[in-house]
Amino acid sequence: MGFPRLGGICTRRMNDLVLPAHRLKAIAVSLLKAAGVPETDAELVADSLVEANLRGVDSHGVLNLGIYVERIRLGLVELHPTFPLLGGGSGTALIDGQNSLGQVAAMRAMELAVTKAREAGMALVGVRNTNHCGMLAYFTSRAVREGMVGFASCNAPVVMAPWGGKERLLGNNPICVAIPAGSQQPIVLDMANSVAAKGKVYAAQSRGERIPEGWALDRNGQPTTDASAALDGGSLLPLGGPKGSGLALVMDVLAGVMTGSGFSREVGSLHRQLTRGMKVGLLMGALNVESLVPLSSFRQLVDSYVQQVKGSQPAPGFARVHLPGELELESRARRSAEGIPIPQKVWEELETTARELGVEL
């Protein structure tokens, strides 16, 4: 166990192993293929995980590889889905996720939304019954590359009580909107509805770190900074109180109820319920900017807006004003140049997974 001997391809920083993105992706692809995932799908899933690590969203990165592989080996994931069309119209569609890898279903849905939006102006595509799909910004960027506004949401296992209640009934159901710009970077709002995503609590637990105050409660409803206490029967706190609670409920209805997927307590846990598929619902959308205004004009106006925001005076205690997604893009540039830090516990889990699959890291 432990880190490999270091050479020109990786370095060590503090207690982390630092790997270049292409090497980390190669490891992820090799593990997924060894677990039986078709090569094209393995490339997609690995790319989405490493992209999350590049952006600093480590909770949605390669630390999930071990549990993905475990669920695959337990027969809880369909590796050869056909994604039959269940319904829809000129600007809508509902596809059967067939208990597939979430990233594969999500990209299929987003590509279909982009195709339909070219003709209809806007399209929404739902996915019934899939699994954890990782970072939503990975999929909305597909629409942005086509000059469209991308929208994505999904539901998740319950982690929060509704506002005023004490029973966990709401998932931390995220929402992502990505807007194309011109010379500026796209605006990417990718947010969960709690103060912090549950994946960040898992990430803190894997690093042996405490979580900030205000993130979570323990099983007795008391505030905690212990990541394990938050995960063991505890709950996350909603962002903005009733506002975050309400948004989580609405996203569960749109992504879960409307697609015929699981919702509320019906959505399975990625890490704990290893007897069935997760029954996650997805909703992917694309808005063709050209159907409303010329894309070139829109890009110029977004650039102007971005420049106004970034050029505005920061409040006391802030060095500058950030746009949604800007910190993640800065992390991506930095980690692309310097490498991606992998905590020792995560590396050891990757080693264990590789050993079980007969893969040499």
Confidence of residue 5 (pLDDT cuts 50, 70, 90): very low
CATH number of the domain that 346 lies in? 1.10.1530.10
Helix (H) or strand (E) holding 295: helix 295-310
pLDDT tens sequence across 28-80 = 999 999 999 999 999 999 999 999 999 999 989 999 999 999 999 999 999 99
Same domain for 102 and 26: no
Range of the domain at 256: 85-194+238-291
Same domain for 53 and 31: yes
Same domain for 253 and 105: yes
In a domain, residue 120? The reply is yes
Count of the separate structural domains present in the chain: 2
In a domain, residue 302? The reply is no
Same domain for 26 and 107: no
Q: Kindly report which listed range (85-99, 120-134, 200-214, 312-326) carries the lowest average pLDDT score.
A: 200-214
Please give the Cα distance from 252 to 172 (Å, whole number).
9
Same domain for 92 and 70: no
60 in active site: no
**Of the candidates 62, 119, 53, the residue with the CA atom closest to the CA atom of residue 92:** 119
Same domain for 60 and 103: no
**Highest-scoring range by mean pLDDT, 11-25, 163-177, 300-314:** 300-314
In a domain, residue 177? The reply is yes
pLDDT tens sequence across 32-45 = 999 999 999 999 99
Please give the Cα distance from 203 to 224 (Å, whole number).
16
Among residues 22, 60, 80, 132, the one annotated as catalytic is 132
Same domain for 181 and 108: yes
Same domain for 171 and 134: yes
pTM comes to 0.89
Instruction: Calculate the dihedral angle through the C-alpha atoms of 295, 143, 334, 101, rounding to the nearest 10 degrees.
Output: 180
Number of H-type helices and E-type strands within the chain: 11, 15
In a domain, residue 144? The reply is yes
Confidence of residue 91 (pLDDT cuts 50, 70, 90): very high
Beta bridge partners of 88: 93
In a domain, residue 39? The reply is yes
Q: What residue type is 339 in one-letter code? A: G
Q: Kindly report which listed range (87-91, 204-208, 321-325, 354-358) carries the lowest average pLDDT score.
A: 204-208
